[in-house]
Structure 1
Amino acid sequence: MIDKLMQKMTIIIISFILVIPVIHVYAQENDVTVDVGSLKVRSGPGLTYNVIGSVEQNDKLTVIGKENDWLQINYGDKNGWVASWYTKSKAIEFTNKQIVSKANKLNVRKEASLSSAVIGQLQEGDQFIALKSEGEWIEIAFNDQKGWVHSEYVSIVEQTKEEREPEITTQGDMFVVSVDILNVRAKPDLSSKQIGQVEKNQAFEILEKNHNWVQIKLKNGKKGWVYSFYGNFTEQPKSAVKSATSNETIKILYNGTNLRSESTTSSEVVARADAGEAFTVIEKVNDWYKIELANKTTAFVASWVVSTNDTNPITSEKPKESRKKGTLDGLTLVIDAGHGGNDRGTTGALGTDEKDITLLTAELLSTKLKAAGANVIMTRESDVYVDLRKRVSISHQNAADAFISLHYDAIENNSVRGLTTYYMYDYQKELATYVHKELNDMVSLKDRGTQPGNYLILRENKQNAILIELGYLSNANEERQVTTEKYREQATHGIYNGIIKYFDSQLEK
């Protein structure tokens, strides 16, 4: 009898042990919310996989895996994949927490994405204040700025009393929120009851200070406490938030322009406006205008899709100038040298920084295009960081006839090599085809063809835009070839020929 009882106990214990890994896996799941009207669910992590269904805006999805920018989710009785850039995850604030790097050369990025610019690196054991987490990313206070690290490579620990940031010494009678959403609490303590929330760029009079907390007065009259690290102190509202003059208006440049609930491209679209519509500006928030709509509600519109009463309107319809075949007279071309500044891009097997050779290539291409009569605009002319959305803005504001982004590729498999030209939309495909053919004819790299590529500078670009990967720096032999003056001369001549032939073909239409 005792033996049978022991056998049963042993089976129960073994079963419990076997269940533990399953519980652990599910503990690692996190939810995201669909951020577009309808999002396709695919059988694999990429646009080439079959569509197996769709999910709707605000649907909550349980993430069970990730590959690059794709999320694996539970979808009915099976699993599917969705594009992460069409979802959003809930941010979790930290107080008195810090991260400890578990790896050497851990990249700190400008945004919570593997494709975002690298603004620095951590070494194993480095410690920095943890601000908040979003999905698999953690925002940290990094060298007088904010950056993101992947949670897989750090540990989160409590700060000791000595490590915590010093008591508030900044002078100013106004507190301006610097994060998207900040909780307001009844007492200056993280465990205290939440009584409300405030949003980015809102300014409040400071009633009292208590160590690293400030007391503010909300619009409903309630008083509450916010953690001071998530804002800035000033005598007046932060300069990024500018009050509009009584006669300041903006005019929409493009049909179907999104008007959003907040000053970010990931926020909800509350309305759309067409070219020529004018709105009164309430205030300027960084690169966005807060405007008043006809129904007296408010919305935000990006500054790069409008003109103000201080500038001449820019339209995509430019006066047609007579142009002969073989020339680029009257055309505006934007040449985008990938990466720059803190964003080195990829580093080759032999130590080449991508940002350096993209600029050399762009300068050479620019010279050839100008000689053919084009008005050439460079997104950067030196080793400086330029935000991706700013690059797109340059394309829009100059009504570019073509936007050419130059890059050099890399992948973990160092045997991969070749040349690829990417486009996003059908109206970009023809330019990609012409340029890639002529480029491929001029250089001796493996032809990887033209492909759809979901890059921000293509996805957000209303102009005719392509992105060219001019070879793999991760392949040592190819790195030696593509970093030579001879290769840059051949490659830029091929791109030049492709642009000429593309615009010549347009004269015949």
Structure 2
Amino acid sequence: MNSSIRTRYFWPAAVLLALALLAVGLVTVKSTAAQSATAVINTGALNVRSGPGTQFSIVDTVYQGQVVTMIARTTDNSWVFVRTPNVIDGWVNASYIIPSVPINTLPIIGAVTPTPTPPPTNTPAPGDTPIPVNPIYVTAVVNTGALNVRSGPAPTYTVLTAVYQGDILVMLGRNGDGSWIYISTPSNVVGWVNAKYVIPSYPIANLPIIGPVAPTPAPGTATPIPPTPPPTAVPSSAVVTTGSLNVRSGPGLSYSRVDGVDYGQYVTLMGRNLDTTWIKVGTPNGKQGWVNGKYIATTIDMNTLPVLTQTGTGIVVTGVLNVRSGPGPSYAALTSAPYGANMT
């Protein structure tokens, strides 16, 4: 009798205990998964903003290789709400991170509390009409140590140059199956890269097909002529390829800052200095100024831009160089510059 009673109450209790342990296990698994939602920054410098868009203010900056904790996302997965190593919460563009879990598994944050800071209103001076900028470029980040840029869409074509992990490329087109992308490098070399080794900010399938492409050459044959860039490229524009770029009143670091442009923004090309180290541009705010040519990408040779100033830069390559009052050794020495000094 007692054995029957014990058996009768033992099994329900055992079932309840098993269900309780299973629930605890599921909560633990869910908690562990939530804690593992991290991402690695895959660009040189990435702004963390107060809201999901470039119009929101910058609250922090993270750099390539740093790890952030993913908390939530926008409905279209284009922006992710993260916590930075500085324990600052904000939004980052999802195109420039490598997530540890699919972004679409994160919870969606609906209404955004921060209010975007409206851009300043610039009243142009009489006769100064702001220059429109056409945002036509889409970019990709190199996701391997070193990547060859070739003259055609296959490994049998000639290597033109190489790009490296973290470099930002301007995507111009693709081959028929999207396995190779026609790009412009930060040094303005155009060519083809294998699509497997880049992280695009725009669907490769939506790029224009460049062709027809000449058949793959046999070893030892002449190098094919690179295909013509697509007609969508507007030669008067360039894209910013660094986190934040100062726009100055003249072609050099000694000039005052008149504006700033961020990564991915577009500027209008207006001219250059004598050695093409500085480029005069029009900004999205309607201002004009000079930027360092190393930090913008365009599909044209910037050496073809008009020279707007006769100043250039150079480096002293001798022990000591005299600076004289006139163009010849007979003139008085005003000062001297040591080896390696930068000269304007």
TM-score, with normalisation over the residues of structure 2?
0.32
Structure having greater relative contact order (Cα 8 Å, sep ≥ 6): 2
Q: TM-score, normalised by structure 1?
A: 0.23
